[in-house]
A and B are shown apart, each in its own frame.
Chain A
């Protein structure tokens, strides 16, 4: 159990972490998210007693780290995988760490096997790839068989096989009742690995809740509706009808409509009653990434702008089209649909009121994995926003576009490969 109370760190007049209070509980993987420079690493360093907090405190099992008896046997950490003397072999690096806490040398060979580095154990770590370095760092964290584990960006530079391995490792460590605290930028990873999320931005706590709650609190599902492009009056008509029925309509750039507040079958019925043909009616589920981006929009320190290439612009060959900007590049506000506001109706609330279609309008309610029987869809693995996502058999959208038929296999493909 890690507990931070009012944790604050200032470097000169810059405040890296401000008044952070949270608890990391045993038996679960707790994800630690935040934009670059938001204070994640500083917080981890304070947990490990490497930095002294300017105010507040952080304890592990009730002790500040520097007072913890036999700390390396209780806490294992991967902070910076490259923090290894390049001239030292992997085995000697681990051996020196093992000797610090009286761990026998055969444990070193054991963890080298666990992380898959036994073949290169006697090679200098200078020649290690990023992924091998990461494995070495994880080996160091596992060395003392600790009850509390901290990982800062553990999957950086790992290949897919390594990422899967780390994911399963985290889960199995948590399942053994250990406290696992993982920071990452990879939302897809966190969606699959973490049970609980702590989100910080600009050094302050933004959220401390379960992954499910986080997604439903920060993003709403919506339906994409497209009427025939050739008949704009149909679009007007449908918009009016939907608004009248209590839905919210937001026009999209390409002429489609984004509808919140109404279940899909209801939209189809409205269209049918109004004699409007539909070219598309597709469900969209918010991903953890969207929810995260929406929440941290205001707290991002380093934001990209459109590369104008001023002075570098080359003459386009005759007839060539200037490239279209990729959505999202320097366009704030594209992230996710607005979260349910007061006054606005949340679309597809997880606990549907009685009398409504079972299990929400899209089959699976807004939370991945919430509908029993429905395979837990990876909320992030959705390759394109147009792809229908929910494979749940319950209440398939009546007027679903042709893409509805292949939706089940498509969803299977997007299913995470975690075999646990």
Chain B
């Protein structure tokens, strides 16, 4: 079983369902539009900000504000790519055709991740440039130190979120269960844990909290985060690897239901 055959087949699968187009375009639109909106609002409010806030003002990070919602569409994309196989029963045909389950899973993930990476990078750059347009005189330039790293990091962040969702979906199999856990987690729970002082020490090691560090250019005043931008992305990558290993081991051992 040549890997290229499986990859080609997975590409046919992913391009031939409507959910791919819907979830990815939603991720693009929401991330960019919300980023532009918040950038515009921030510009209007800049004059009323206090000294501390002005020191922490991070135009790059603000233009990525839409990612908090846009990542949810990425999660849906990641979950559906994997769990579609289970909810439709297609997994039986797929695994009957590719008895090497590792090849099957990782080819699928490779195709979906490559697609997600392309879309996420484009989204990240678009969100940055359009957000800076809205910020007017407070804008950052792509040539400023750390900005290019943040913009590329934004694309990587969205890709890793999608990949993490794929791993979780491979473990849980059901799209409802996977979305029911991932959506509230990334939309609410992680934010709460990361912002409440009592839980901040733990919360900052959650995948999205750690990973989003890469999009910061200006470190906020009295920030005590014990890792840097790449360290944060590394922590997120560890989460992703753990989810993928879990998905692989379970797929390998479980009966294909």
Contacts and interface: CB of A to CB of B under 8 A. Distances in A.
Nearest to B98: A100
Contact of A102 (B5, B91, B95): B5
A100 B97 CA distance: 7
B95 A140 contact: no
B5 A89 contact: no
A83 B93 contact: yes
B254 to A, nearest CB: 9
Contacts of B89: 80, 82-84
Given A82-B89, A85-B17, A87-B17, A99 B96 contact: no
B199 interface: no
Given A83-B89, A83-B92, A65 B17 contact: no
Interface string B93-123: 1111111100000000000000000000000
Given A66-B100, A77-B96, A100 B9 contact: yes
B54 interface: no
B256 A100 contact: no
Q: Is the interface of B mostly helix, strand, loop or mixed?
A: helix
A101 interface: yes
Contact of A50 (B6, B19, B95): B95
Contacts of B2: 102
A71 B84 CA distance: 23
Nearest to A99: B9
Nearest to A85: B88
A101 B96 CA distance: 11
Contact of A88 (B13, B92, B96, B99): B13
A100 B100 CA distance: 12
Contacts of A98: 9
B222 interface: no
A70 B88 contact: no
Interface in B1-58: 1-2, 5-6, 8-10, 12-13, 16-19
A86 B91 CA distance: 14
Contacts of B1: 70, 100-101
A257 interface: no
A364 interface: no
A72 interface: yes
Chain B interface size, under 10 / 10 to 19 / 20 to 34 / 35 or more:
20 to 34
A97 B9 contact: yes
A71 B100 CA distance: 10
Interface in A14-69: 45, 48-52, 65-68
Contacts of B98: 72, 100
B197 interface: no
A101 B84 CA distance: 21
A407 interface: no
B5 A49 contact: no
Contact of A97 (B17, B19, B97, B255): B97
A117 B98 CA distance: 25
Given A80-B89, A85-B90, A99-B9, A49 B17 contact: no
Given A70-B1, A99-B9, A101-B5, A92 B16 contact: yes
A70 B97 CA distance: 9
Nearest to B10: A96
Nearest to A125: B88
A147 to B, nearest CB: 15
A95 interface: yes
Given A49-B96, A77-B96, A96 B17 contact: no
Given A87-B17, A89-B16, A99-B8, A71 B99 contact: yes
Contacts of B84: 85
Contacts of B256: 45, 50-51
A47 to B, nearest CB: 10
B241 to A, nearest CB: 25
B90 A84 contact: yes
A83 B6 contact: no
Interface string A378-402: 0000000000000000000000000
A79 interface: yes
A68 B99 contact: yes
A362 B15 CA distance: 64
A78 B100 CA distance: 19
Nearest to A9: B255
Contacts of A86: 88
12 contacts: A50-B92, A50-B96, A52-B255, A66-B99, A72-B98, A85-B17, A88-B13, A88-B17, A96-B10, A96-B16, A101-B1, A140-B93
8 closest A-B pairs (Cβ-Cβ)? A83-B89, A92-B16, A99-B9, A66-B99, A51-B255, A50-B256, A96-B12, A72-B97
Interface of A: 45, 48-52, 65-68, 70-72, 75, 77, 79-80, 82-89, 92-93, 95-102, 140
Interface of B: 1-2, 5-6, 8-10, 12-13, 16-19, 84, 88-100, 255-256
Given A50-B255, A85-B17, A92-B16, 20 more contacts: A45-B92, A48-B92, A49-B95, A50-B92, A50-B95, A52-B255, A70-B1, A71-B99, A79-B92, A79-B96, A85-B13, A85-B88, A92-B12, A95-B12, A97-B94, A97-B97, A100-B94, A101-B5, A101-B97, A140-B93
